[in-house]
């Protein structure tokens, strides 16, 4: 297990937990143990582990560069819906002892709560990691391992789903100035897609660019608040008639001519 610990430590923080002994029982030795092979070590057990005398399991500590979405067994339908409505890139997924899926995403720059209900929630406490041994003799496994792909980003659209239910905030004049600069940026991102993308792909593109923009801003706006600004600017832009096609073509034409002209002079 030490070997596995070193192996896994490269990607995530792991700590030893009680394991399953040769007798198939929890190494804590308590006959009525409620979580065999799935609870923290006490001081004595930690010493045994350090001396290499305790077959331990591993727990992932959800801190660092990632956040974890826990999909419980009854949450798989909800997860399927989320996958159908958001572009979710390949990312690490591990199995849990009760049939859960733990889905890892790059940590967004702002605080976010992934608790969506219906068996889908954010996991912020420690949980059993592959290849921990279960009482029945099976081991937990990676469905997609950290060595198979990079950690995937949390899709911008999913951030919105997450933050839609966050409570409305009161009006704050000092943040209104900052918000108007942000709104202008988002409007520009939207207009930049004129004639290139439309409908949902256009919205998603704008969200992605806006999230990157907010992440690069210091301090960045809290995710829930920020995504509600993004959505309101997008819907404003969508009811304003687009600039006439001739104007877009003309701007591109002039843009091209100016660049050509300068390079010609040099
Ligand atoms: Zn135990």
Half-sphere exposure of 252 (CA within 13 A, CB side): 11
Same domain, 202 and 134: no
Per-residue pLDDT, 39: 94
Same domain, 138 and 7: yes
CA of 143 to the centre of ligand 1 (A): 26
Q: Look up the pTM and report it.
A: 0.62
In the 8-state DSSP scheme, what is residue 113?
Answer: -
CA of 138 to the centre of ligand 1 (A): 17
CA of 129 to the centre of ligand 1 (A): 16
Chosen domain end from 136, 161, 186: 161
Chosen domain end from 123, 138, 161: 161
Cβ(74)–Cβ(138) below 8 Å: no
Neighbours of 85 (CB within 10 A): 13
CA of 72 to the centre of ligand 1 (A): 23
The span from the CA of 40 to the CA of 107, in Å, is 25
Instruction: Evaluate whether residue 198 is within a structural domain.
Output: yes
Same domain, 46 and 132: yes
CA of 97 to the centre of ligand 1 (A): 14
Same domain, 42 and 112: yes
Per-residue pLDDT, 176: 63
CA of 49 to the centre of ligand 1 (A): 14
CA of 59 to the centre of ligand 1 (A): 14
Same domain, 11 and 33: yes
CA of 89 to the centre of ligand 1 (A): 37
Same domain, 156 and 193: no
Number of domains within the chain: 2
Neighbours of 7 (CB within 10 A): 14
Same domain, 144 and 217: no
CA of 119 to the centre of ligand 1 (A): 26
CA of 19 to the centre of ligand 1 (A): 8
Same domain, 199 and 68: no
Same domain, 149 and 103: yes
CA of 38 to the centre of ligand 1 (A): 7
Chosen domain end from 161, 190, 215: 161
CA of 75 to the centre of ligand 1 (A): 27
Same domain, 85 and 148: yes
Per-residue pLDDT, 5: 65
Same domain, 149 and 29: yes
Instruction: Evaluate whether residue 6 is within a structural domain.
Output: yes
In the chain, where do the E strands start and end? 13-17, 57-61, 66-71, 93-95, 101-106, 120-122, 127-128, 142-144
CA of 30 to the centre of ligand 1 (A): 6
CA of 4 to the centre of ligand 1 (A): 21
Same domain, 83 and 123: yes
Per-residue pLDDT, 3: 60
CA of 141 to the centre of ligand 1 (A): 21
Q: Write out the chain's pLDDT in tens, 266 residues.
A: 566 667 667 889 899 999 999 889 999 999 889 899 999 998 899 999 889 888 899 999 988 789 999 999 999 999 998 888 888 899 999 999 999 999 999 988 777 777 788 899 989 899 999 999 999 999 999 999 999 999 999 887 777 656 554 444 445 555 666 677 788 888 888 888 888 898 889 999 999 988 888 887 767 788 888 888 898 888 888 877 665 555 555 445 444 333 333 333 33
The span from the CA of 159 to the CA of 82, in Å, is 11
Per-residue pLDDT, 169: 46
Provide the residue range defining the domain that includes 46.
2-161
């Amino acid at each position: 297990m030490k070997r596995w610990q070193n192996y896994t430590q490269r990607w995530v923080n792991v700590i030893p937990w009680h394991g399953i002994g040769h007798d198939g029982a929890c190494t804590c030795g308590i006959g009525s143990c409620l979580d065999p092979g799935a609870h923290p070590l006490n001081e004595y057990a930690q010493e045994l582990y350090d001396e290499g005398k305790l077959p331990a399991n591993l727990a992932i500590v959800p801190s660092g560069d990632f956040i974890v979405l826990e999909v419980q067994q009854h949450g798989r339908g909800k997860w399927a819906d989320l996958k159908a409505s958001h572009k979710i890139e390949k990312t690490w997924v591990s199995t849990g002892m009760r049939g859960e899926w733990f889905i890892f995403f790059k940590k967004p720059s702002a605080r976010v709560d992934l608790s969506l209900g219906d068996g889908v929630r954010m996991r912020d406490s420690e949980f059993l990691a592959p290849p921990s041994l279960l009482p029945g003799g099976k081991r937990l496994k990676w469905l997609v391992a950290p060595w198979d792909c990079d950690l995937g980003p949390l899709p911008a659209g999913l951030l919105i789903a997450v933050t839609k239910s966050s409570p409305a905030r009161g009006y704050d004049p000092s943040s209104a100035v900052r918000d108007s600069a942000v709104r202008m940026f988002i409007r520009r991102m939207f207009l930049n897609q004129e004639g290139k993308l439309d409908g949902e792909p256009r919205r998603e593109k704008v969200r992605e660019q806006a999230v990157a923009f907010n992440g690069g801003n210091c301090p960045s706006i809290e995710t829930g608040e920020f995504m509600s600004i993004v959505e309101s600017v997008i819907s404003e832009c969508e009811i304003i008639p687009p600039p006439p096609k001739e104007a877009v073509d003309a701007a591109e034409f002039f843009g091209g001519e100016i660049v050509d002209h300068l390079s010609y002079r040099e």
